[in-house]
Amino acid sequence: MAVTEVCWTRPDPPPECAAFWASEYPAIRDVATLLAVIGECGYETVGHFTLPPSSWWDDYYRPLQRNLTEFRERHREEADAPQLADQVRREIDVWYASSDFYSYEFFVMRTR
Helix (H, G, I), strand (E, B) or coil at 45: strand
63-68: long-range pairs with CB below 8 Å, 24+: 64/88, 64/92, 65/92
What is the Cα–Cα distance from 112 to 93, expressed in whole angstroms? 41
| Mean pLDDT of the residues in the chain | 95
- Residue 112 neighbours by CB distance under 10 Å: 7
Q: What is the 3-state secondary structure (H, E, C) of 15-36?
A: HHHHHHHHHHCCCCEEHHHHHH
User: CATH number of the domain that 61 lies in?
Assistant: 3.40.50.150
Residue-number span of the structural domain to which 41 is assigned? 2-111
What is the Cα–Cα distance from 105 to 31, expressed in whole angstroms? 7
Helix (H, G, I), strand (E, B) or coil at 14: coil
pLDDT tens-place string over residues 35-72 = 999 999 999 999 999 999 999 899 899 999 999 989 99
Q: What is the tally of structural domains in the chain?
A: 1
Query: Model's pTM, two decimal places?
Result: 0.84
pLDDT band at 31 (very low <50, low <70, confident <90, very high): very high
